[in-house]
Structure 1
Protein backbone atom coordinates (compact mmCIF):
# COMPACT_ATOMS: atom_id res chain seq x y z
CA UNK A 1 0.00 0.00 0.00
CA UNK A 2 2.80 2.37 0.90
CA UNK A 3 4.48 1.84 -2.47
CA UNK A 4 1.23 2.54 -4.34
CA UNK A 5 0.69 5.76 -2.41
CA UNK A 6 4.26 6.85 -3.12
CA UNK A 7 3.84 6.05 -6.82
CA UNK A 8 0.58 7.95 -6.93
CA UNK A 9 2.32 10.97 -5.42
CA UNK A 10 5.08 10.66 -8.01
CA UNK A 11 2.56 10.43 -10.83
CA UNK A 12 0.82 13.54 -9.53
CA UNK A 13 4.10 15.46 -9.31
CA UNK A 14 5.10 14.36 -12.82
CA UNK A 15 1.99 15.87 -14.41
CA UNK A 16 3.17 19.39 -13.47
CA UNK A 17 0.15 19.96 -11.21
CA UNK A 18 0.42 23.75 -11.00
CA UNK A 19 -0.04 24.45 -14.73
CA UNK A 20 -2.54 21.56 -15.05
CA UNK A 21 -4.81 22.97 -12.34
CA UNK A 22 -4.45 26.57 -13.48
CA UNK A 23 -5.18 25.99 -17.18
CA UNK A 24 -8.07 23.63 -16.38
CA UNK A 25 -9.66 26.07 -13.92
CA UNK A 26 -9.20 28.91 -16.40
CA UNK A 27 -10.92 26.92 -19.14
CA UNK A 28 -13.81 26.15 -16.80
CA UNK A 29 -14.06 29.84 -15.86
CA UNK A 30 -14.04 30.78 -19.54
CA UNK A 31 -16.87 28.33 -20.21
CA UNK A 32 -19.01 29.70 -17.38
CA UNK A 33 -18.27 33.27 -18.40
CA UNK A 34 -19.25 32.59 -22.00
CA UNK A 35 -22.57 31.09 -20.91
CA UNK A 36 -21.89 27.46 -21.76
CA UNK A 37 -24.51 24.92 -20.73
CA UNK A 38 -23.64 22.63 -17.82
CA UNK A 39 -22.96 19.72 -20.16
CA UNK A 40 -20.70 21.81 -22.41
CA UNK A 41 -18.84 23.30 -19.46
CA UNK A 42 -18.14 19.83 -18.05
CA UNK A 43 -16.93 18.53 -21.43
CA UNK A 44 -14.70 21.57 -21.94
CA UNK A 45 -13.19 21.20 -18.48
CA UNK A 46 -12.56 17.47 -18.80
CA UNK A 47 -11.09 17.85 -22.30
CA UNK A 48 -8.65 20.51 -21.12
CA UNK A 49 -7.76 18.46 -18.01
CA UNK A 50 -7.01 15.38 -20.11
CA UNK A 51 -4.96 17.42 -22.56
CA UNK A 52 -2.94 19.07 -19.80
CA UNK A 53 -2.26 15.74 -18.11
CA UNK A 54 -1.02 14.28 -21.39
CA UNK A 55 1.30 17.25 -21.93
CA UNK A 56 2.69 17.21 -18.38
CA UNK A 57 3.30 13.47 -18.26
CA UNK A 58 4.83 13.41 -21.74
CA UNK A 59 7.20 16.21 -20.71
CA UNK A 60 8.69 14.23 -17.81
CA UNK A 61 8.63 11.01 -19.85
CA UNK A 62 10.54 12.55 -22.78
CA UNK A 63 12.92 14.52 -20.54
CA UNK A 64 13.70 11.62 -18.17
CA UNK A 65 17.17 11.06 -19.63
CA UNK A 66 18.09 14.73 -19.44
CA UNK A 67 16.77 14.98 -15.89
CA UNK A 68 18.95 12.06 -14.79
CA UNK A 69 22.04 13.63 -16.37
CA UNK A 70 21.27 16.88 -14.53
CA UNK A 71 20.59 14.96 -11.27
CA UNK A 72 17.16 16.60 -10.95
CA UNK A 73 16.16 14.95 -7.68
CA UNK A 74 12.92 16.96 -7.73
CA UNK A 75 11.80 14.96 -10.76
CA UNK A 76 9.82 11.76 -9.96
CA UNK A 77 11.59 9.80 -12.70
CA UNK A 78 14.95 10.60 -11.08
CA UNK A 79 13.86 9.99 -7.47
CA UNK A 80 12.25 6.70 -8.47
CA UNK A 81 8.73 7.78 -7.55
CA UNK A 82 7.42 6.78 -10.97
CA UNK A 83 8.85 4.91 -13.93
CA UNK A 84 9.25 6.20 -17.47
CA UNK A 85 7.09 3.32 -18.73
CA UNK A 86 4.26 4.34 -16.41
CA UNK A 87 4.51 7.96 -17.51
CA UNK A 88 4.43 7.00 -21.18
CA UNK A 89 1.34 4.84 -20.71
CA UNK A 90 -0.44 7.53 -18.68
CA UNK A 91 0.46 10.26 -21.19
CA UNK A 92 -0.90 8.25 -24.12
CA UNK A 93 -4.03 7.23 -22.21
CA UNK A 94 -4.71 10.88 -21.29
CA UNK A 95 -4.13 11.87 -24.91
CA UNK A 96 -6.69 9.32 -26.14
CA UNK A 97 -9.19 10.58 -23.55
CA UNK A 98 -8.50 14.13 -24.70
CA UNK A 99 -9.30 13.22 -28.31
CA UNK A 100 -12.67 11.73 -27.38
CA UNK A 101 -13.64 14.51 -24.97
CA UNK A 102 -12.54 17.27 -27.34
CA UNK A 103 -14.50 15.91 -30.30
CA UNK A 104 -17.53 15.45 -28.03
CA UNK A 105 -17.71 19.27 -27.81
CA UNK A 106 -18.13 19.40 -31.61
CA UNK A 107 -15.92 18.90 -34.63
CA UNK A 108 -14.84 22.55 -34.93
CA UNK A 109 -14.05 23.27 -31.25
CA UNK A 110 -12.65 19.76 -30.83
CA UNK A 111 -10.29 20.29 -33.75
CA UNK A 112 -9.13 23.60 -32.30
CA UNK A 113 -8.39 22.06 -28.91
CA UNK A 114 -6.57 19.10 -30.40
CA UNK A 115 -4.45 21.54 -32.40
CA UNK A 116 -3.59 23.30 -29.12
CA UNK A 117 -2.62 20.01 -27.48
CA UNK A 118 -0.61 18.94 -30.54
CA UNK A 119 1.22 22.26 -30.37
CA UNK A 120 2.08 21.66 -26.70
CA UNK A 121 3.33 18.15 -27.53
CA UNK A 122 5.49 19.60 -30.32
CA UNK A 123 7.34 21.59 -27.66
CA UNK A 124 8.09 18.44 -25.67
CA UNK A 125 9.13 16.43 -28.71
CA UNK A 126 11.22 18.84 -30.79
CA UNK A 127 10.69 22.60 -30.50
CA UNK A 128 11.96 22.85 -26.92
CA UNK A 129 15.53 22.81 -28.26
CA UNK A 130 15.04 25.33 -31.04
CA UNK A 131 14.76 29.09 -31.43
CA UNK A 132 11.01 28.52 -31.88
CA UNK A 133 10.55 27.17 -28.34
CA UNK A 134 8.15 30.05 -27.62
CA UNK A 135 5.83 29.19 -30.53
CA UNK A 136 3.95 26.21 -29.01
CA UNK A 137 3.15 28.30 -25.93
CA UNK A 138 1.85 31.16 -28.04
CA UNK A 139 -0.25 28.84 -30.22
CA UNK A 140 -1.65 26.68 -27.41
CA UNK A 141 -2.55 29.60 -25.13
CA UNK A 142 -3.95 31.61 -28.04
CA UNK A 143 -6.18 28.73 -29.15
CA UNK A 144 -7.69 28.21 -25.68
CA UNK A 145 -10.26 31.06 -25.83
CA UNK A 146 -11.13 30.08 -29.41
CA UNK A 147 -11.86 26.52 -28.30
CA UNK A 148 -14.00 27.58 -25.35
CA UNK A 149 -15.95 30.16 -27.35
CA UNK A 150 -16.67 27.69 -30.15
CA UNK A 151 -17.74 25.00 -27.68
CA UNK A 152 -19.86 27.42 -25.64
CA UNK A 153 -21.39 29.58 -28.37
CA UNK A 154 -20.87 28.05 -31.83
CA UNK A 155 -22.30 31.09 -33.61
CA UNK A 156 -19.78 33.47 -32.00
CA UNK A 157 -16.18 34.27 -32.89
CA UNK A 158 -13.31 35.21 -30.60
CA UNK A 159 -12.07 38.80 -30.37
CA UNK A 160 -8.58 39.20 -31.80
CA UNK A 161 -7.30 41.10 -28.76
CA UNK A 162 -8.26 38.17 -26.51
CA UNK A 163 -6.30 35.74 -28.70
CA UNK A 164 -3.27 38.05 -28.74
CA UNK A 165 -3.43 38.58 -24.98
CA UNK A 166 -3.51 34.87 -24.14
CA UNK A 167 -0.76 34.13 -26.70
CA UNK A 168 1.48 36.70 -25.03
CA UNK A 169 0.70 35.13 -21.66
CA UNK A 170 1.93 31.81 -23.00
CA UNK A 171 5.21 33.30 -24.20
CA UNK A 172 5.80 35.04 -20.88
CA UNK A 173 5.06 31.83 -18.96
CA UNK A 174 7.51 29.90 -21.17
CA UNK A 175 10.39 32.31 -20.57
CA UNK A 176 9.72 32.54 -16.82
CA UNK A 177 9.45 28.75 -16.48
CA UNK A 178 12.74 28.18 -18.31
CA UNK A 179 14.86 30.61 -16.26
CA UNK A 180 15.68 28.31 -13.28
CA UNK A 181 16.83 25.49 -15.57
CA UNK A 182 18.98 27.39 -18.10
CA UNK A 183 22.30 25.91 -16.92
CA UNK A 184 20.98 22.34 -16.63
CA UNK A 185 19.32 22.60 -20.02
CA UNK A 186 22.51 23.79 -21.71
CA UNK A 187 24.42 20.80 -20.32
CA UNK A 188 21.89 18.43 -21.88
CA UNK A 189 21.74 20.16 -25.28
CA UNK A 190 18.52 22.15 -24.87
CA UNK A 191 18.80 25.51 -26.61
CA UNK A 192 15.43 27.21 -26.80
CA UNK A 193 14.91 30.94 -27.24
CA UNK A 194 15.68 31.86 -23.58
CA UNK A 195 18.96 29.90 -23.76
CA UNK A 196 19.98 31.65 -26.97
CA UNK A 197 19.32 35.19 -25.74
CA UNK A 198 20.84 34.48 -22.33
CA UNK A 199 19.67 34.81 -18.73
CA UNK A 200 19.93 38.62 -18.50
CA UNK A 201 17.77 39.21 -21.57
CA UNK A 202 15.33 36.48 -20.51
CA UNK A 203 14.86 38.05 -17.08
CA UNK A 204 13.90 41.27 -18.85
CA UNK A 205 11.80 39.61 -21.56
CA UNK A 206 9.52 37.59 -19.26
CA UNK A 207 8.02 40.51 -17.30
CA UNK A 208 7.87 42.71 -20.40
CA UNK A 209 5.82 40.13 -22.29
CA UNK A 210 3.53 39.58 -19.30
CA UNK A 211 2.97 43.31 -18.89
CA UNK A 212 2.22 43.53 -22.62
CA UNK A 213 -0.33 40.74 -22.27
CA UNK A 214 -2.01 42.59 -19.41
CA UNK A 215 -2.09 45.81 -21.44
CA UNK A 216 -3.71 44.02 -24.39
CA UNK A 217 -6.39 42.51 -22.16
CA UNK A 218 -7.15 45.76 -20.32
CA UNK A 219 -6.88 48.10 -23.30
CA UNK A 220 -8.31 45.93 -26.07
CA UNK A 221 -10.18 47.76 -28.85
CA UNK A 222 -13.42 49.34 -27.63
CA UNK A 223 -12.79 48.09 -24.08
CA UNK A 224 -13.85 50.02 -21.02
CA UNK A 225 -11.95 48.36 -18.14
CA UNK A 226 -13.13 50.68 -15.37
CA UNK A 227 -11.63 50.95 -11.87
CA UNK A 228 -11.55 47.19 -11.29
CA UNK A 229 -9.74 46.62 -14.57
CA UNK A 230 -7.12 49.23 -13.79
CA UNK A 231 -6.62 47.83 -10.28
CA UNK A 232 -6.17 44.30 -11.64
CA UNK A 233 -3.76 45.64 -14.25
CA UNK A 234 -1.73 47.37 -11.56
CA UNK A 235 -1.50 44.17 -9.52
CA UNK A 236 -0.49 42.21 -12.62
CA UNK A 237 2.24 44.72 -13.46
CA UNK A 238 3.54 44.57 -9.88
CA UNK A 239 3.61 40.76 -9.97
CA UNK A 240 5.41 40.75 -13.33
CA UNK A 241 7.98 43.26 -12.04
CA UNK A 242 8.49 41.14 -8.92
CA UNK A 243 9.00 38.06 -11.10
CA UNK A 244 11.76 39.89 -12.95
CA UNK A 245 13.45 40.99 -9.73
CA UNK A 246 13.27 37.53 -8.14
CA UNK A 247 14.66 35.91 -11.29
CA UNK A 248 17.60 38.31 -11.16
CA UNK A 249 18.29 37.81 -7.44
CA UNK A 250 17.62 34.05 -7.32
CA UNK A 251 18.33 32.58 -10.79
CA UNK A 252 17.22 29.04 -9.89
CA UNK A 253 14.04 30.01 -8.06
CA UNK A 254 10.70 28.83 -9.46
CA UNK A 255 8.92 31.78 -7.90
CA UNK A 256 9.02 33.78 -11.19
CA UNK A 257 6.96 31.06 -12.87
CA UNK A 258 4.48 31.04 -9.97
CA UNK A 259 4.16 34.82 -10.23
CA UNK A 260 3.74 34.51 -13.99
CA UNK A 261 0.88 32.08 -13.50
CA UNK A 262 -0.68 34.57 -11.08
CA UNK A 263 -0.50 37.23 -13.79
CA UNK A 264 -2.12 34.76 -16.18
CA UNK A 265 -4.87 34.16 -13.64
CA UNK A 266 -5.55 37.90 -13.31
CA UNK A 267 -5.71 38.32 -17.07
CA UNK A 268 -8.10 35.42 -17.49
CA UNK A 269 -10.34 36.78 -14.72
CA UNK A 270 -10.45 40.04 -16.68
CA UNK A 271 -11.27 38.04 -19.82
CA UNK A 272 -14.05 36.15 -18.06
CA UNK A 273 -15.52 39.42 -16.76
CA UNK A 274 -15.36 40.75 -20.32
CA UNK A 275 -16.88 37.58 -21.79
CA UNK A 276 -19.52 39.44 -23.85
CA UNK A 277 -16.67 41.32 -25.56
CA UNK A 278 -14.46 38.24 -26.01
CA UNK A 279 -17.21 36.21 -27.66
CA UNK A 280 -18.22 38.35 -30.63
CA UNK A 281 -21.67 37.44 -31.88
CA UNK A 282 -21.98 37.01 -35.64
Structure 2
Protein backbone atom coordinates (compact mmCIF):
# COMPACT_ATOMS: atom_id res chain seq x y z
CA UNK A 1 0.00 0.00 0.00
CA UNK A 2 1.51 3.34 -1.04
CA UNK A 3 2.03 6.09 1.50
CA UNK A 4 -0.64 8.21 -0.21
CA UNK A 5 -3.28 5.49 0.04
CA UNK A 6 -2.29 4.75 3.62
CA UNK A 7 -2.45 8.46 4.41
CA UNK A 8 -5.93 8.74 2.90
CA UNK A 9 -7.13 5.76 4.93
CA UNK A 10 -5.78 7.23 8.15
CA UNK A 11 -7.14 10.70 7.32
CA UNK A 12 -10.63 9.26 6.83
CA UNK A 13 -10.99 8.67 10.60
CA UNK A 14 -11.27 4.92 9.91
CA UNK A 15 -12.67 3.77 13.27
CA UNK A 16 -15.75 6.03 13.40
CA UNK A 17 -16.19 5.71 9.64
CA UNK A 18 -16.29 1.92 9.88
CA UNK A 19 -18.50 1.97 13.00
CA UNK A 20 -21.10 4.38 11.60
CA UNK A 21 -21.20 2.53 8.27
CA UNK A 22 -21.64 -0.80 10.06
CA UNK A 23 -24.44 0.59 12.21
CA UNK A 24 -26.20 1.95 9.11
CA UNK A 25 -25.86 -1.39 7.32
CA UNK A 26 -27.18 -3.31 10.31
CA UNK A 27 -30.12 -0.94 10.67
CA UNK A 28 -30.87 -1.18 6.94
CA UNK A 29 -30.92 -4.96 7.20
CA UNK A 30 -33.14 -4.71 10.26
CA UNK A 31 -35.78 -2.57 8.53
CA UNK A 32 -35.97 -5.01 5.62
CA UNK A 33 -33.66 -3.83 2.83
CA UNK A 34 -32.82 -6.51 0.29
CA UNK A 35 -29.16 -7.28 -0.50
CA UNK A 36 -29.39 -5.08 -3.59
CA UNK A 37 -31.05 -2.35 -1.55
CA UNK A 38 -28.31 -2.49 1.07
CA UNK A 39 -25.60 -1.51 -1.42
CA UNK A 40 -26.66 2.11 -2.14
CA UNK A 41 -27.52 2.71 1.53
CA UNK A 42 -24.17 1.47 2.84
CA UNK A 43 -22.32 3.14 -0.04
CA UNK A 44 -23.98 6.48 0.67
CA UNK A 45 -23.15 6.38 4.37
CA UNK A 46 -19.56 5.30 3.68
CA UNK A 47 -19.03 8.08 1.12
CA UNK A 48 -20.52 10.63 3.51
CA UNK A 49 -18.26 9.51 6.35
CA UNK A 50 -15.20 9.64 4.11
CA UNK A 51 -16.10 13.15 2.97
CA UNK A 52 -16.48 14.36 6.55
CA UNK A 53 -13.28 12.72 7.77
CA UNK A 54 -11.18 13.99 4.88
CA UNK A 55 -12.68 17.46 5.15
CA UNK A 56 -11.89 17.54 8.85
CA UNK A 57 -8.24 16.63 8.37
CA UNK A 58 -7.90 19.12 5.49
CA UNK A 59 -9.26 22.03 7.51
CA UNK A 60 -7.41 21.05 10.70
CA UNK A 61 -4.02 20.43 9.07
CA UNK A 62 -2.53 23.69 10.34
CA UNK A 63 -3.83 23.18 13.87
CA UNK A 64 -2.66 19.56 13.91
CA UNK A 65 0.84 20.62 12.89
CA UNK A 66 0.89 23.32 15.58
CA UNK A 67 0.18 20.86 18.37
CA UNK A 68 2.41 18.12 16.96
CA UNK A 69 -0.28 15.61 16.03
CA UNK A 70 1.95 12.92 14.51
CA UNK A 71 -1.08 10.61 14.31
CA UNK A 72 -2.58 12.91 11.68
CA UNK A 73 -1.25 11.96 8.23
CA UNK A 74 -1.40 15.45 6.71
CA UNK A 75 0.42 17.03 9.64
CA UNK A 76 2.92 14.14 9.63
CA UNK A 77 3.61 14.61 5.92
CA UNK A 78 2.31 11.16 4.94
CA UNK A 79 -0.12 12.63 2.40
CA UNK A 80 -0.52 16.06 0.83
CA UNK A 81 -3.25 18.35 2.09
CA UNK A 82 -4.36 19.01 -1.49
CA UNK A 83 -4.80 15.27 -2.09
CA UNK A 84 -7.01 14.88 0.99
CA UNK A 85 -9.04 17.95 0.02
CA UNK A 86 -9.60 16.53 -3.48
CA UNK A 87 -10.68 13.18 -2.01
CA UNK A 88 -13.12 14.98 0.31
CA UNK A 89 -14.64 16.82 -2.65
CA UNK A 90 -15.08 13.62 -4.64
CA UNK A 91 -16.67 11.79 -1.71
CA UNK A 92 -19.00 14.71 -1.00
CA UNK A 93 -20.10 14.76 -4.65
CA UNK A 94 -20.63 11.00 -4.77
CA UNK A 95 -22.75 10.91 -1.59
CA UNK A 96 -26.00 12.43 -2.95
CA UNK A 97 -25.55 10.61 -6.27
CA UNK A 98 -25.46 7.26 -4.50
CA UNK A 99 -28.38 8.30 -2.31
CA UNK A 100 -30.46 9.11 -5.39
CA UNK A 101 -30.23 5.44 -6.33
CA UNK A 102 -32.81 4.92 -3.56
CA UNK A 103 -35.31 7.77 -3.94
CA UNK A 104 -35.27 11.61 -3.83
CA UNK A 105 -36.76 11.88 -0.33
CA UNK A 106 -34.17 9.58 1.20
CA UNK A 107 -31.44 11.37 -0.75
CA UNK A 108 -32.56 14.67 0.76
CA UNK A 109 -32.04 13.29 4.27
CA UNK A 110 -28.64 11.86 3.35
CA UNK A 111 -27.59 15.21 1.91
CA UNK A 112 -28.84 17.02 5.00
CA UNK A 113 -26.69 14.78 7.17
CA UNK A 114 -23.63 15.40 5.02
CA UNK A 115 -24.06 19.18 4.86
CA UNK A 116 -24.64 19.36 8.61
CA UNK A 117 -21.46 17.40 9.33
CA UNK A 118 -19.43 19.56 6.95
CA UNK A 119 -20.75 22.67 8.68
CA UNK A 120 -19.36 21.27 11.93
CA UNK A 121 -15.89 21.14 10.42
CA UNK A 122 -16.29 24.81 9.54
CA UNK A 123 -17.61 27.08 10.99
CA UNK A 124 -19.59 25.52 13.90
CA UNK A 125 -16.79 23.52 15.51
CA UNK A 126 -15.58 26.49 17.52
CA UNK A 127 -18.96 27.85 18.62
CA UNK A 128 -21.44 27.08 21.42
CA UNK A 129 -23.57 25.36 18.73
CA UNK A 130 -20.95 22.71 17.98
CA UNK A 131 -23.23 19.91 19.19
CA UNK A 132 -26.01 20.70 16.69
CA UNK A 133 -24.36 19.19 13.57
CA UNK A 134 -23.77 15.93 15.43
CA UNK A 135 -27.41 15.78 16.50
CA UNK A 136 -28.71 16.66 13.03
CA UNK A 137 -26.36 14.33 11.15
CA UNK A 138 -26.91 11.34 13.43
CA UNK A 139 -30.66 12.00 13.48
CA UNK A 140 -30.79 12.09 9.69
CA UNK A 141 -29.07 8.70 9.41
CA UNK A 142 -32.00 6.44 10.44
CA UNK A 143 -34.36 8.72 8.52
CA UNK A 144 -32.35 8.07 5.36
CA UNK A 145 -32.08 4.34 6.02
CA UNK A 146 -35.83 3.91 6.64
CA UNK A 147 -36.99 6.16 3.81
CA UNK A 148 -34.62 4.45 1.36
CA UNK A 149 -36.77 1.31 1.73
CA UNK A 150 -39.42 1.23 -1.04
CA UNK A 151 -42.86 1.92 0.36
CA UNK A 152 -41.59 2.57 3.87
CA UNK A 153 -43.56 4.90 6.16
CA UNK A 154 -41.98 7.95 7.73
CA UNK A 155 -39.38 6.98 10.32
CA UNK A 156 -40.74 7.01 13.88
CA UNK A 157 -39.93 10.09 15.90
CA UNK A 158 -38.40 8.04 18.73
CA UNK A 159 -35.87 6.48 16.35
CA UNK A 160 -34.72 9.84 14.94
CA UNK A 161 -34.64 11.38 18.43
CA UNK A 162 -32.58 8.49 19.81
CA UNK A 163 -30.06 8.83 16.99
CA UNK A 164 -29.83 12.59 17.54
CA UNK A 165 -29.20 12.07 21.27
CA UNK A 166 -26.57 9.45 20.46
CA UNK A 167 -24.86 11.88 18.08
CA UNK A 168 -24.85 14.64 20.66
CA UNK A 169 -23.30 12.27 23.19
CA UNK A 170 -20.70 11.21 20.62
CA UNK A 171 -19.68 14.84 20.17
CA UNK A 172 -18.83 15.32 23.84
CA UNK A 173 -16.98 12.00 24.02
CA UNK A 174 -15.12 12.58 20.76
CA UNK A 175 -13.77 15.97 21.82
CA UNK A 176 -12.55 14.86 25.26
CA UNK A 177 -9.07 13.71 24.09
CA UNK A 178 -8.57 16.98 22.18
CA UNK A 179 -9.55 19.55 24.81
CA UNK A 180 -6.00 20.58 25.68
CA UNK A 181 -4.81 20.74 22.05
CA UNK A 182 -7.94 22.63 21.04
CA UNK A 183 -7.37 25.19 23.78
CA UNK A 184 -3.91 25.88 22.37
CA UNK A 185 -5.31 26.59 18.92
CA UNK A 186 -8.38 28.61 19.88
CA UNK A 187 -11.16 26.04 19.41
CA UNK A 188 -14.02 26.80 21.80
CA UNK A 189 -16.95 24.50 21.10
CA UNK A 190 -19.60 23.58 23.64
CA UNK A 191 -17.54 20.76 25.25
CA UNK A 192 -14.63 23.15 25.76
CA UNK A 193 -16.92 25.57 27.54
CA UNK A 194 -18.26 22.81 29.81
CA UNK A 195 -14.81 21.38 30.51
CA UNK A 196 -13.75 17.73 30.91
CA UNK A 197 -16.04 16.91 33.84
CA UNK A 198 -19.07 18.60 32.29
CA UNK A 199 -18.43 16.91 28.93
CA UNK A 200 -18.20 13.48 30.53
CA UNK A 201 -21.50 14.03 32.34
CA UNK A 202 -23.13 15.32 29.13
CA UNK A 203 -21.85 12.37 27.10
CA UNK A 204 -23.00 9.78 29.63
CA UNK A 205 -26.39 11.42 30.10
CA UNK A 206 -27.06 11.74 26.37
CA UNK A 207 -26.04 8.14 25.69
CA UNK A 208 -28.35 6.92 28.42
CA UNK A 209 -31.19 9.10 27.09
CA UNK A 210 -30.65 7.72 23.58
CA UNK A 211 -30.83 4.14 24.81
CA UNK A 212 -33.94 4.82 26.89
CA UNK A 213 -35.60 6.38 23.83
CA UNK A 214 -34.83 3.24 21.80
CA UNK A 215 -36.21 1.00 24.55
CA UNK A 216 -39.29 3.01 25.49
CA UNK A 217 -40.16 4.40 22.05
CA UNK A 218 -41.55 1.35 20.23
CA UNK A 219 -45.03 0.09 21.10
CA UNK A 220 -45.28 -2.54 23.81
CA UNK A 221 -43.41 -3.21 27.00
CA UNK A 222 -39.61 -3.06 27.02
CA UNK A 223 -37.98 -6.47 26.62
CA UNK A 224 -35.14 -7.82 28.70
CA UNK A 225 -32.94 -7.13 25.66
CA UNK A 226 -33.86 -3.48 25.86
CA UNK A 227 -33.26 -3.31 29.57
CA UNK A 228 -29.87 -4.92 28.97
CA UNK A 229 -29.07 -2.11 26.54
CA UNK A 230 -29.97 0.46 29.20
CA UNK A 231 -27.65 -1.29 31.64
CA UNK A 232 -24.87 -1.22 29.04
CA UNK A 233 -25.41 2.51 28.52
CA UNK A 234 -24.91 3.01 32.25
CA UNK A 235 -21.81 0.82 32.59
CA UNK A 236 -19.85 1.24 29.33
CA UNK A 237 -19.19 5.03 29.32
CA UNK A 238 -17.51 5.09 32.77
CA UNK A 239 -15.30 2.22 31.63
CA UNK A 240 -14.41 4.31 28.61
CA UNK A 241 -13.49 7.30 30.79
CA UNK A 242 -11.33 5.04 32.95
CA UNK A 243 -9.59 3.62 29.89
CA UNK A 244 -9.01 7.10 28.51
CA UNK A 245 -7.41 8.28 31.75
CA UNK A 246 -5.18 5.19 31.85
CA UNK A 247 -4.06 5.80 28.26
CA UNK A 248 -3.35 9.44 29.02
CA UNK A 249 -1.20 8.53 32.03
CA UNK A 250 0.70 6.05 29.85
CA UNK A 251 1.40 8.74 27.27
CA UNK A 252 -0.92 7.28 24.63
CA UNK A 253 -3.75 9.05 22.84
CA UNK A 254 -6.91 8.48 24.94
CA UNK A 255 -9.47 7.29 22.39
CA UNK A 256 -11.29 4.88 24.72
CA UNK A 257 -14.04 7.41 25.50
CA UNK A 258 -15.21 7.63 21.89
CA UNK A 259 -14.90 3.87 21.45
CA UNK A 260 -17.28 3.51 24.38
CA UNK A 261 -19.84 5.55 22.43
CA UNK A 262 -19.47 3.27 19.43
CA UNK A 263 -19.89 0.21 21.64
CA UNK A 264 -23.13 1.60 23.06
CA UNK A 265 -24.36 2.46 19.57
CA UNK A 266 -23.64 -1.02 18.25
CA UNK A 267 -25.30 -2.64 21.29
CA UNK A 268 -28.35 -0.44 20.84
CA UNK A 269 -28.77 -1.28 17.16
CA UNK A 270 -28.07 -5.00 17.57
CA UNK A 271 -30.62 -5.33 20.34
CA UNK A 272 -33.11 -3.14 18.47
CA UNK A 273 -32.85 -5.30 15.36
CA UNK A 274 -32.93 -8.52 17.38
CA UNK A 275 -36.09 -7.42 19.14
CA UNK A 276 -37.87 -6.77 15.81
CA UNK A 277 -39.00 -3.31 16.98
CA UNK A 278 -37.10 -1.09 14.56
CA UNK A 279 -40.12 0.57 12.94
TM-score, normalization by structure 2: 0.93
Give runs of ≥4 in structure 1 deviating > 3 Å. Answer: 244-252
Shift of the alpha carbon at 1:51?
0.7
What is the CA distance between 1:222 and its match in structure 2? 2.6
Q: CA deviation at 1:147?
A: 0.5
Distance 2:221 2:14 in 1: 35
Larger mean CA deviation between 223-232 and 163-172 belongs to 223-232
> In structure 2, what is the equivalent of residue 258 of structure 1?
259
Paired position in structure 1 for 2:268: 267
Q: Distance in 1 between matches of 2:60 and 2:226?
A: 40
C-alpha distance in structure 2 between counterparts of 1:130 and 1:268, whole Å = 31
Give ranges in structure 1 of 5+ residues lacking alignment.
none
Paired residues, number: 275
- SS of match in other structure, 2:74: helix
Unaligned runs of 5+ residues in structure 2 are none
Q: Pick one of 221, 225, 228 that aligns with 2:225.
A: 228
CA contact (8 A) 2:69 2:75 kept: yes
Q: Indicate how the Cα distance of structure 1 residues 237 and 9 shifts in structure 2: closer, same or farther if over 3 A, else same.
A: same
Shift of 1:140: 0.6
Instruction: Indicate yes or no: 2:151 matched with 1:139.
Output: no
Distance between the aligned counterparts of 2:128 and 2:244, measured in 1?
A: 21
Q: Distance in 2 between matches of 1:39 and 1:218?
A: 30
SS for the counterpart of 2:221 is: coil
Which of 53, 67, 73 lines up with 1:76 in the alignment?
73
**1:248, 1:109 → 2: CA distance?**
41
Shift of 1:212: 1.4
Residue 187 of structure 1 corresponds to 184
SS at match of 2:33: coil
Q: In 2, Cα distance between the equivalents of 1:168 and 1:268?
A: 14
Query: Cα distance, 1:179 vs. partner?
Result: 0.5
Q: Alignment RMSD, CA only?
A: 1.7
Does the 8 A contact of 1:20 with 1:52 survive in 2?
A: yes
- 2: CA distance, partners of 1:228 / 1:99: 35
Q: Kindly state the Cα deviation for residue 196 of structure 1 after the two structures are TM-superposed.
A: 0.8
Q: Distance in 2 between matches of 1:274 and 1:148?
A: 18
Alignment of 1:108-123 (within 5 A): 108-123=105-120
Tell me the equivalent position of 1:164: 161
Instruction: Please give the secondary structure, in 1, of the residue aligned with 2:148.
Output: helix
Deviates more, 1:49-58 or 1:212-221: 212-221
In the TM superposition, residue 198 of structure 1 has moved relative to its aligned partner by 1.2
**2:154 counterpart SS class:** strand
**Is the contact between residue 27 and residue 148 of structure 1 (CA under 8 Å) also seen in structure 2?**
yes
Query: CA deviation digits over 1:15-38, x for unaligned, max 9?
Result: 000111111111111111111122
Conserved? CA contact 1:180–1:254, under 8 Å:
yes
Cα deviation, residue 247, structure 1 = 4.9
